Amino acid sequence: MNFFVKMLLSHVLIVVVALGALLLFSELLAPAFVRGHVERMVALIGPSGAELRPDLERGMRSTLTSALLASLPLALLVAAVTALPSARRVVRSVGLLSEGSRALASGRYERRLPEEGNDELTDLARSFNRMAAALGQVEQERTDLITNVAHELRTPIAALRGYTEALADGVMGPEAAREALQREVSALERLAHDLSLVSRVERGHLELHLSTFPPADLLQAARERFEGAYNEKGIVLAVQVAPNLPQVRADFGRASQVLANLLTNALRHTPAGGRVTVGAALEGAFVQFFVADTGGGIAAEHLPRVFERFYRADPARSRGEGGSGVGLTIARGLVERMGGCIRAESMPGQGSRFAFTLPAAG
């Protein structure tokens, strides 16, 4: 028996049960109601009406029972007719849901259900469509991740092959080959480390060691670490710290890592003679840290995606200078794990400004 027949029979069965209950209660309650009417009729007929009392009671009860039994076929017909549209809709919705589930199971994540009406079935279709869209996005991200990782690995692997062939052919000396091979192996190790860190951050498996420290300490540590590289490229590294800033509550090492990622990007994309400003200011119950550069900036269509894994507005330059493509993804994950948020602002030709917040202590 298919689902449609079951749905239709269930509606009819409900009507049958209701009529049966009505008939039973009428048989139980009818005597009291009938007796009252009979007594009034006997009073109107007069003394001879007393002899008619049993016949009147039987006649009225028989009439009531016959009327209820006679209404049963009509009630069943009405139940079947009225149940037909709703049963069809439920069966159609279940069929579409079943078909859609099979489509998702086979990898066709573009499948969607029609959202008709304003009831629970429509809500179910809407939830299914949201689930299908989310699964499709996850699958797309998985595919993009595999493609991007393969692309990232292709460059160092090709370089390793070239160096080993050059060493085997005697074109490159052992010492030069050793340095080149170590450089490419380090690039592979850095990529593997960054991918592992992204995975742990996104799954929430990264352990944090929270402490309280002044914002100026974080900025000073960053300046000491990067000042030499900035001077070597001819870029001014300036520090701006607002007065009377509260201490922040965060993981000092991870916050330093976020700031290092932003300063590394600024160094990579700011030409010689430019300026990068790193600083801190109060933002409500948070302290905002920022890195602003005078580089070429980021086009508006790229700005919303700069924190995505492997996304590059300028792929060739970033890859050539050793970026793994997940630095900003790591920065976003670390900041959010510490209770803050990160954002990017930029205008092409006017530089970029990256800012993140950390909770103020107390």
The residue ranges of every structural domain in the chain are: 3-108, 143-203, 211-359
Q: What is the phi-psi region of residue 273: left when phi exceeds 0, alpha when psi lies from -120 to 50, beta otherwise?
A: left
Q: What is the CATH code for 143-203?
A: 1.10.287.130
Return the pLDDT at 316.
46
**What is the per-residue DSSP string for 175-206?**
HHHHHHHHHHHHHHHHHHHHHHHHHHHHHT--
Residue for token pair 């170590």: 182
pLDDT at 319: 46
Task: Looking at the chain, list the stretches that DSSP marks H as alpha helix, in order from N- to C-terminal side.
Answer: 3-45, 53-105, 120-169, 174-203, 215-233, 252-269, 315-320, 327-337
Give 221-265 pLDDT, tens digit per residue. 999 999 999 999 999 999 999 999 999 999 999 999 999 999 999
State pTM to two decimals: 0.59
Q: How many CB atoms lie within 10 A of CB 192?
A: 13
Q: Residues 8, 89, 92, CA angle at the centre, nearest 5°?
A: 100
The domains spanning 143-203 and 211-359 adopt the same CATH topology: no
Residues sharing a CB contact under 8 Å with residue 276, sequence separation 6 or more, in sequence order: 230, 235, 236, 237, 238, 263, 266, 267, 270, 291, 292, 293, 294
Give residue 43's pLDDT: 64
CATH class of 211-359: alpha beta
Number of neighbouring beta carbons within 10 Å of residue 65: 14
In this structure, the number of other CB atoms found within 10 A of the CB of residue 335 comes to 22
Q: Which residues of the chain, if any, have pLDDT below 50?
A: 316-322
